[in-house]
Every structure is written in C-alpha cells, then in structure tokens.
Structure 1
Amino acid sequence: MNGSELTAEDYAAVLGAMQSLSATYGARTLNEALSQWRLTVIDLEEGFDTEWIWEYHNELVCRDWLHAAWPLLTPRVREVRQAELDEWDRRFVAATLPRRKADGLPAGMDGRWWHDRYPRRITGERGHDLPPGWSPAPVHADDD
C-alpha cells in the first residue's frame, strides 16, 4: 500500500461519520467540511464582513463537524488528513484573536477552541455593534 491509499474500512468510516453527523450538522462529506473550513479561514484572512457579524459562529459549523467526525474516522484517514487540518487551524489562529471572556458568554464547548476566537480583521460598513468579548476591536481592513 502506498502512502495515500485508503481501504474500504477507511471509506466506510468516512461514510459512517457523514451519516451519523447529518442530523446535527446537515449532510456533508469530509472533503466538503475541510474545503469549507479552508474557505472560512481564507475569508477571515481577508477580513470578515461586518454585515454578517452576528452570523460569525455559524461560519464555524464546518469546524464543529470536523471536531465531531475526527474520532469516528480510522487512524489512517486521520493520518492522511491531519496535516491539512493543522494547517488551516494554524492559519485560523493567525487570522483571529482570543475572545475576552465576558459575563454570560459561554466558552468554547467540548474543546471547541475556535469559538473562543474572533476575526482579527473586518471589512464592510463601520459603526456596526460588535459582539461582547470582541475586545480589542478588530482592525478594519481599510486601516491596514
């Protein structure tokens, strides 16, 4: 077996993760979730549009799916895809800031550390109210 071949057991685990998580996260594949995480991180690197500021945590659902799916995958699938996930997680951390823990705001649940971070850069109209805990305020892309 060469370094990239997956077995029927590997593919069955990916399908099983997709099926077991579809009720909670909607139907998505491992490839789709990793691709959506990549696109989310790229958007954050460019600046998160303040028009969608209150939808920010919804953008992180693809990472929630990956978090829930990872233990359901075979060690081989995790090994093959871990470097990709690590790279996008690293870039996410670089594109975000740690959220100030404000009263009444839950911390990232179940090890979901990405919910405890907010965009470093924003775009769009100025003057939008920012969510509690986004302090210091993100830099507006026009101010770079």
Structure 2
Amino acid sequence: MATEIEVGELLHQRGWRTAFTVADRVKAWAALVSLIERGYGDDIYEYTNDLYCRNWLHEAWIPLDEHIVQLWTPQIKALDNRYKAATVDDDGQAIDQFHRLPGPDLWWWRRHPRILTGDLGHALRSAGATGVDPDPA
C-alpha cells in the first residue's frame, strides 16, 4: 500500500495536473459541495471540471494505505451525503449532453444540482434538468 505522497505522485504520472494530496482533494470536494448547496452559478464546463476532485479521491483509494483510507473515509462519506442531498439523480442525462459520462461507479456524475442557477442552471435546464430556481424571473 502506498503513502499519500506516493499516491499523489502516481496519479500525477497518470495524467493528473499535479501531485495532489488527499487533504487537497477533500478540501476541493468540500468547497464544491458547499457551492452546490448554495447554488452553483458558474458554467457547465467549470462544474464538470470541478467534479474531477471527487474522481481523484476515487482513484486514490485503491492504492492508498488502509490507515489513510480509514482516517479520511468518514469525512468523505459525510460530504458525499451532503452532495446527494443537494443534487438530483437523473442517471447523468443532463450532464451527458455536455461531458461524456465516466463509468457507473463514479455516481456523482449521474447527479446534477437541485438548485439550478446561473450559467450552469441555464445549461442543465436546456438539457432537460429539473430543479429549484432560487430567483424565478
């Protein structure tokens, strides 16, 4: 099993732009979940780019040392639960209009924010997504 630094380097060699740490990606996932809960207003391309922080965590879990996995799993599960509560499961139909969906084990790609606002909201609505409009105009 690999250390956090070794996994960061391994994933960087596999194409990730830098050698992230688990803390980096958990912080990014937490920030994204908070934005989604309030209403993610950026565009669809930023949104899909932001989702990759969760992909990194998924990829890192396999080679990571079991102790590190046990240490971080409760926080990640709590964030995953918040993400599920702030999103709608549409089996990825809306996001798939803009970004090729990864494998089914990456479940977060098959959900979209419940609050549809800003550029992301417009794009997802155009792809058939339904949700809450925080300021109907």
For the superposition of Structure 1 and Structure 2, which TM-score range results when normalised by the shorter chain? Answer: 0.7 to 0.9
* One-letter identity of the residue aligned with 2:69: R
Partner of 1:61: 52
Q: Residue 141 of structure 1 corresponds to which residue in structure 2? A: 134
What is the TM-score when the length of structure 2 is the normalising length?
0.81
1:1-144 alignment to 2 at 5 Å? 13-23=3-13, 24-27=15-18, 28-49=20-41, 51-100=42-91, 102=93, 105=96, 107-109=101-103, 111-124=105-118, 128-130=122-124, 134-135=128-129, 137-143=130-136
Quote the Cα distance in structure 2 between the aligned partners of 1:126 and 1:115: 14
- The structure having more radius of gyration, on CA atoms, is 1
Q: Tell me the C-alpha RMSD between the 2 structures.
A: 2.6
TM-score, scaled relative to structure 1: 0.77
The Cα offsets for residues 95-139 of structure 1, whole Å up to 9 and x where unpaired, read as: 10012564xx4554151000001010022369834267653x221
Unpaired segments of 5 or more residues in structure 2?
none
- Counterparts of 2:5 and 2:75, CA distance in 1: 19
Question: Which has the larger share of strand?
Answer: 1
- Percent sequence identity is 29
